A = this chain, B = another copy of it.
């Protein structure tokens, strides 16, 4: 592979030097690599945020891109490290549910469980990113065959993801994540809305009404608004402000679509 692309998603921040160590290792092990920072600002151990960050980014990358994702509350434990192929690209990450959104949309072609008991791993045992995931990515980029890296598996952990429920004339969902602007991402999809009987829909959360609009800019009049975002998910916003702060919303809050 000429000038392989390796991307990085971590919750390490950059100031402690662990991301620097991974970058140095990758440039040393694969001198022609092109490194791409997707994010190092994932909230510590927020797997949902990492899962969405990955799912929004990956589909736009070229075939054969290698993505390393290291966000793991249980670092160094017995959680098996995975290598997954989907979208004609490669994904290396701990098996902790981080692939949930990705595989729902883009079914994986193959999944491998990575070997971990190398000498290198013993030397860097408190730091999986350097001990395990960067070496696996470098091996892939350098053309090492898959059977040297791990063994095929089929099991893969998925995040528990309660689906929205239909009760009487209501679809009941919830807030799963906020973005940087304080917009609230819900677990209600465009398909969920489309499957409801025709008619008006009223979206509310915390006793506040969020008019369902087509475009963010239309919120100039209503201030509060709901829309289908570019992920195809229902999102709650306040025009030019943070819905999280203005409406006092929290992760897990119920979101109701009356129909």
Bound state CA distance, A53 and B22, in angstroms?
12
A–B pairs, 19, beta carbons within 8 Å: A14-B38, A14-B41, A15-B39, A15-B41, A15-B42, A15-B53, A16-B53, A17-B38, A19-B38, A20-B39, A20-B54, A20-B56, A20-B60, A23-B57, A24-B62, A45-B240, A74-B220, A76-B215, A126-B230
Whether a CB of chain B sits under 8 angstroms from the CB of A217 is yes
Query: Which range contains the number of A residues in contact with the other chain?
Result: 35 or more
Whether a CB of chain B sits under 8 angstroms from the CB of A44 is yes
Count of identical protomers in the assembly: 3
Whether a CB of chain B sits under 8 angstroms from the CB of A179 is yes
Whether a CB of chain B sits under 8 angstroms from the CB of A18 is yes
- Chain B proximity of A221: nearest CB distance (Å): 12
Whether a CB of chain B sits under 8 angstroms from the CB of A157 is no
**Contact A36-B45, Cβ < 8 Å, known A12-B180, A56-B21:** no
Contact (Cβ within 8 A) B16 A229? no
**Contact A18-B181, Cβ < 8 Å, known A76-B216, A215-B125:** no
Contact (Cβ within 8 A) B76 A16? no
16 new A-B contacts at CB < 8 Å, known A16-B180, A17-B55, A20-B57: A7-B20, A7-B23, A14-B38, A14-B40, A17-B52, A17-B53, A23-B57, A25-B60, A27-B61, A27-B65, A28-B60, A35-B36, A44-B181, A76-B216, A77-B217, A127-B230
